[in-house]
Amino acid sequence: MTHDLHYGIPGRPLVVPRRILKPIQRVRYPLPKVKKRPVTVCIAAMCEEKGESRLVLCADTRLDYSESGANDSGIKIGRLAYGWIGMLSGDLITARGLHDWIKADMLEAGVQVDKLALHKRLLAVARKFAKSPLYQKGITEIIVAGFIGPSPVIATVYVGASDSDPARVDFFPSFKAIGSGSTIANVFMNIRGCSPHADIGRAMYIVYEAKKYSENNVGVSPQTKMLVLSPSPQPDSADAFGVLVPDDEILTNLEEMRGSFGLQPIK
């Protein structure tokens, strides 16, 4: 039995040519490389209390686990040694690893007596860490804050700058913010004239305000942790820290001040 297929014209069968079907080749397209962002904001600022130097430190609580995501319940302000504090930015595991290496080096070195020597030690640690298996490629930055004698010091240890020289250490004379919210925070502190000679109350407000406005960056959480650092009460003790943690009432007062002194809506 034959079957004639027609295009609607009698007597004209449809001729279907035989074709050898070939399997479709699958092409794998590489996924775009996503640059890791330092999800956070950490701020350090110098000030004075009754003529003595202090450091105001502030951070949000968002912790970045790289490809695994992030959460808003973490602590990124950690103790190093001899009254020094480290503040973390970047991939959490990498940042904590670098923090631990700096802490171990400080415990070995003892009391910091010279800024140049501190710079050399921090840079040496950062370069060794960048070559270690613990370092995951991406930007990791830590604020190292403390005192050499009565003088406050704010330094950043930066790993991931470039393949040729992946480590850098910088010092700052007044204040510094790091992380994804750092641009906003640094601008606000600059506009407010944040100064090492500012009164502690004024400095705490400026730092708090800068942190809150940095929340406009999606990587910064609304939770705020703040502390005031003084020279160690026992300079020769690796475990002694001059730390004052403002309570919730102080943070509430700072937020009320921001309602009065902060940016106002345009009507």
pTM: 0.82
Residue 46, amino acid: M
**Domain presence at residue 80:** yes
Is 26 domain-assigned? no
Q: Provide the domain limits for residue 172.
A: 42-261
What's the total number of domains in the chain? 1
Q: Report if residue 22 sits inside a domain.
A: no
Q: Is there a domain that residue 136 lies in?
A: yes
- Within a domain: 30: no
Distance CA 190, CA 213 (A): 13
- CATH number, domain containing residue 243: 3.60.20.10
Measured distance CA(199)–CA(125) in Å, rounded: 35
Residue 29: per-residue pLDDT: 57
Determine, yes or no, domain membership for 125.
yes
Q: What is d(CA 14, CA 254) in angstroms, rounded to the nearest whole number?
A: 84
Instruction: Flag whether 12 is in a domain.
Output: no
User: Is residue 188, in this structure, part of any structural domain at all?
Assistant: yes
**pLDDT by residue, tens only, the chain of 267 residues:** 444 444 455 555 555 556 555 666 666 655 444 445 556 899 999 999 999 999 999 999 886 555 545 555 567 899 999 999 999 998 888 899 999 999 999 999 999 889 999 999 999 999 999 989 888 777 889 999 999 999 999 999 999 866 777 899 999 999 999 999 999 999 999 999 999 999 999 999 999 999 999 999 988 999 999 999 999 999 899 999 999 999 999 999 999 999 999 998 888
